[in-house]
Amino acid sequence: MKKVLFWTLAIVITLASAYYQRRTGPTHPKRIEINISNNLIKFKLPRSGVSDDDLEIKLPKIKSVDSVVLNYRRYPLSEDFTAIDFKQNDDFLIAYLPKQLPAGKLEYFISFKDPHSEKLIDTEHVVIRFKGSVPAWALIPHIIFMFVAMLLSNLSGIFAFGKEDKHVFYGNLTLILLLLGGMIFGPIVQLYAFGQAWTGIPFGWDLTDNKTLIAVVFWIIAVLGNRKSPKYRYTLIASIVLFLIYIIPHSALGSELDYASGKVVTGFMQLFF
């Protein structure tokens, strides 16, 4: 019963933290609410796109406005916004953001013309980052290995907290999966997505790369420290570190295209857009 309880707790913690990370991440679609003529309109705006094609922005058909305009510019440049009118397509309004090179970003917002006041009502500004297509053979193993590594890390920490020696076995598996998912498939995914395999220390400050590196270092210390005799504190510390790292929003301080030089650098995707 104790093992069943430990597994259940580990699964709940992992699922909850994964949900939190996804919802708070800077590439998760932005929820927008705007009030026009006492009509509350809700929709989502994407914050991640693929460099292969122009990105479709789709809105529900709105009867209470005269016109809808998509405004965009390259981010973080201070150039003028380009305006594009939405076109009606069946029950939707459609406009397109022009595709960018991998790691290129656009800042955009939508303007609605209120028919009663003749005023323009703007949504908040949103930043979107484009990436190259990542093949499934690289992306799927990366996601699976990292998710299971987090699950086993939480399980190891719970076993260590309960003074169960099985924490050593699950800790060893955690390190193996972290190395596979974070240090092998992770750079492959990033190479396809942004053209660079590693932008963390010592080459840059990419937060995803650096937090993976920190987690691996702590788990190496834990595994080596438990080789001769189980030491619960090593496993417990490593599992807490990985948990704290895991809930940091994914893609923050990620790769960003420098439009002036044409090179990919470590940038900052605003968390408040």
For the cut 80, the answer to whether the pLDDT of residue 51 exceeds it is yes
**Do residues 130 and 50 lie in contact, with contact meaning Cβ atoms separated by under 8 Å?**
yes
User: CATH 2.60.40.10 residue ranges in the chain?
Assistant: 30-131
- What proportion of the chain, given as a percentage, has pLDDT over 90? 59
pLDDT recorded at residue 266: 64
3.40.1410.10, 2.60.40.10, 3.40.190.10, 3.30.460.80: which CATH number matches 30-131? 2.60.40.10
Q: What is the mean pLDDT of the chain?
A: 88
| Chain-centre distance for alpha carbon 64 | 35
For the cut 90, the answer to whether the pLDDT of residue 126 exceeds it is yes
pLDDT, average across residues 126-133: 94
Residue whose tokens read 């092998």: 184
Contacts of 5 (CB under 8 A, 6+ apart): none
pLDDT, average across residues 112-118: 77
pTM over 0.85: no
- The CB-side HSE value for 218 (13 A sphere, CA atoms) comes to 22
Of the candidates 123, 113, 153, the residue with the CA atom closest to the CA atom of residue 234: 153
DSSP bridge pairs for 105: 75, 129
The tens digit of pLDDT for each residue in 169-182 reads: 999 999 999 999 99
pLDDT, average across residues 247-271: 67
DSSP bridge pairs for 255: 266
Distance CA 110, CA 105 (A): 17
* Prior bond of 76 cis (ω within 30°): yes
Residue whose tokens read 């390259």: 74
The tens digit of pLDDT for each residue in 74-105 reads: 999 999 999 999 998 878 899 999 999 998 99
